[in-house]
Amino acid sequence: MGIEDRRFDVNLSILFTELPLLERPAAAAAAGFTAVELWWPWVDSPTPARPQLDALKGAIEDAGVRLTGLNFYAGRLPGPDRGALSLPGEESARFRANVEVAADFAGSLGCTALNALYGNRVAGVDPAEQDALALENLALAARAADRIGAILLIEALNRHESPRCPLVSAQAAVEVADRVNEATGLGNAMFLMDLYHLAMNGEDLPRVIETHAARTGHVQIADSPGRGAPGTGSLPLADLLDRLAKAGYDGWIGLEYQPGGRPSAEAFDWLPREARAAR
């Protein structure tokens, strides 16, 4: 499979952030992309007012791009927060309030993947209590995703940037997805394979691909170190994407990297324009 046969989308929560949110879908389209993904855009509001939701929906539709992935509410990203669903008290309540709102918004745009980020460990709280809360909330999210015909994504982060996050390996994330599927019987919880995070954890990426490609519902890329565009670090991303294709993965590849002190529109020189529009 050549690069032109792959399906790339742009994460508008890390690229084009020099622009207001509602201008980013059109900017991605102007750069040649036909698909975008987002972290939950309203970091302080799991249940934004209808005009805010409608304005973003309209911006995506007017730009002529497809929304391929959306995070559930996860607190401040980027920042110290890494998810809300396993945090006792107010934050997990905010996550639960967001579940149907996020699913309805995603469904209205034909989005087929929802990402639920695990929360940090909390001092003084039994990890088993947090894991039980997480499973309860992930099952709720899986059912909401299933209602709109979407999958639920479980992502591993990296221990350097998220030292209190318990999901810092591919195996840990896959095991959580398995527990969610067992709890719901839906089978729609899948692994989000973020090659940057896994590389930062020192994982054997060819082995991760060989072992977990069949359980992978989405892939995200950034070079490492630095979380920049492909070619700015030392990851053999072209080879890794070839391995993914040979292992049978033909889904979306999210560009979730930092533009590196330049306008985002200039951060795609590694990817020919003709390869940016999804086939």
Q: Which residues are catalytic?
A: 155, 256
Structure tokens at 191: 């692994």
Phi/psi region, residue 138 (left: phi>0; alpha: psi -120 to 50; beta: rest), is: alpha
Q: Which residue has the tokens 């590849």?
A: 253
DSSP secondary structure, the chain, as one string: --GGGSEEEEETTTSSTTS-GGGHHHHHHHTT--EEEES-S-TT-SS--HHHHHHHHHHHHHHT-EEEEEEPP-SSTTTT---STTSTTHHHHHHHHHHHHHHHHHHHTT--EEE-PPPPP-TTS-HHHHHHHHHHHHHHHHHHHHHTT-EEEEE---TTT-TT-S--SHHHHHHHHHHHHHHHS---EEEEEEHHHHHHTT--HHHHHHHHGGGEEEEEE--TTTS-STTSSS--HHHHHHHHHHTT--SEEEE-----SS-GGGTTTTS-GGGTS--
- For the four alpha carbons of 217, 173, 38 and 239, in that order, the dihedral sign comes to negative
Q: What is the distance, to the nearest Å, from the Cα of residue 86 to the centroid of all Cα atoms in its chain?
A: 18
Count of other CB atoms within 10 angstroms of residue 131: 15
